[in-house]
Structure 1
């Protein structure tokens, strides 16, 4: 009984480490990330790719209202997985810092610099009483001095740089697919194809253009560009990943979860 009470004390206290060095609230925040639909980032020699699962829980919901890819600056995009409201707070913070950097120094903010500013902000919420960690993970992608960069933020406030990664639901399965098929010197088009194939690998090898979002940032023209429905359809058709409308509706109807997660 006494052991159970001690466990609850560490469980409730965000500023208290457990005897084995764990912060339980941070671990719970990571679980919240796993409830969100998947987001994928791929770094290629020609730029970076962001791909997200935008499946919705009801046919009555406007698909355009489901936002999972955001522009932090012209050359930086952010994809999220986890609690929607938490993601919007961090994305707004990233946008503000990008604008402050432009006004203060007269130049665009670096991808690494912006990522570390965001993770420093996240980390503050792991050691302040009366607050909770952000229940969201972000993929921050962009081009810095002609070099593609790809980062992940963790609810603990730790930044990681990747060649390819996945966050959200089915993260481990998608990562395994990326590890098996990723090549560092692939083109931007090949990066899009890989990201879509990885997403399809956990969706019965079938996707609809309405249920996904894809954006790229090319080294030659470092501006975040989202693919149109027609462009996504072309990629899916070329790879044999295009789902029938009826199959997509069935998968949406069967999908359940917390509508506050994305």
Structure 2
């Protein structure tokens, strides 16, 4: 009995298929695509990270789910995919940031940290007995007076973006970003753009308790996570902007 052409090529991370693919890496990318949606947006005065935590049960304490992490004073990351893998990478990133301070007496730059994390992820696509990380990271920070935003991939690839998204709602987010993103927008406008994209991706339903927002400002080069009250204020503004649409949707549901 002859084996199917692709059979067996996904059994190990070190085996290429005849058409040059590594299936285990592609499976890891699928894990990211099934994850919660995370977005990053560069503004002229900083960078915004926004995550929809997608709470699956009302019994879960929303605060216990963390998808945005602080790495250093000037760097934060948002994750999508396997949360446990993301935590391991976050811990490694924090160590790399502190090693840089001890070794060179200066904060690590965003691109150097991104490359170090991607180098580590790439090694897990090259050796037997391991599997790729099933998570992608959006790394946001400020170098000098320049905001930076990088997307990392399970393969170890790295790209710098003006605005991007990862996870289940990526396509819906990218459509909004392609149409509405402007390079001269400020942080407030960038957050509203992210909320607008999330509103479109979530079928006009937003819940501040399931959202996380983090920002890095050029002014003070400090990463901060917004409180639930601050996030709620942005959600209210978006819902107010789409008040007519929301009312129409509620009327349709009532009729059904």
Deviations 1:175-215 (A, max 9, x none): 11111110011011000100111111111223111010001
* Matches for 1:154-169 after TM superposition, within 5 Å: 154-169=153-168
Q: Distance in 2 between matches of 1:64 and 1:242?
A: 27
1:118 deviates by 0.0
| Alignment RMSD (CA, Å) | 1.5
Structure 1 runs (4+) greater than 2 angstroms displaced: none
Contact 2:195 2:238 in 1 (8 A): no
Q: Which has the higher contact order (CA 8 A, sep 6+)?
A: 1
Aligned length: 243
1:8 deviates by 2.6
Q: Distance in 2 between matches of 1:114 and 1:198?
A: 28
The answer to whether structure 1 residue 140 and structure 2 residue 139 are counterparts is yes
The answer to whether structure 1 residue 22 and structure 2 residue 21 are counterparts is yes
TM-score of the superposed pair, with normalisation by structure 2 = 0.92
SS at match of 1:11: coil
Q: Distance in 2 between matches of 1:104 and 1:41?
A: 30
Match of 1:11 in 2: 10
Q: Distance in 2 between matches of 1:61 and 1:236?
A: 21
Runs (5+) with no aligned partner, structure 2: 247-256
1:239 deviates by 2.2
Match of 1:188 in 2: 187
Match of 2:2 in 1: 2
* Matches for 1:16-165 after TM superposition, within 5 Å: 16-165=15-164
Q: Distance in 2 between matches of 1:241 and 1:102?
A: 45
SS at match of 1:48: strand
Match of 2:252 in 1: none
1:235 deviates by 1.3
Q: Distance in 2 between matches of 1:45 and 1:119?
A: 26
Runs (5+) with no aligned partner, structure 1: 248-262
Contact 2:41 2:194 in 1 (8 A): yes
SS at match of 2:147: strand
Match of 2:216 in 1: 217
TM-score of the superposed pair, with normalisation by structure 1 = 0.90
Match of 2:254 in 1: none
Q: Distance in 1 between matches of 2:39 and 2:64?
A: 20
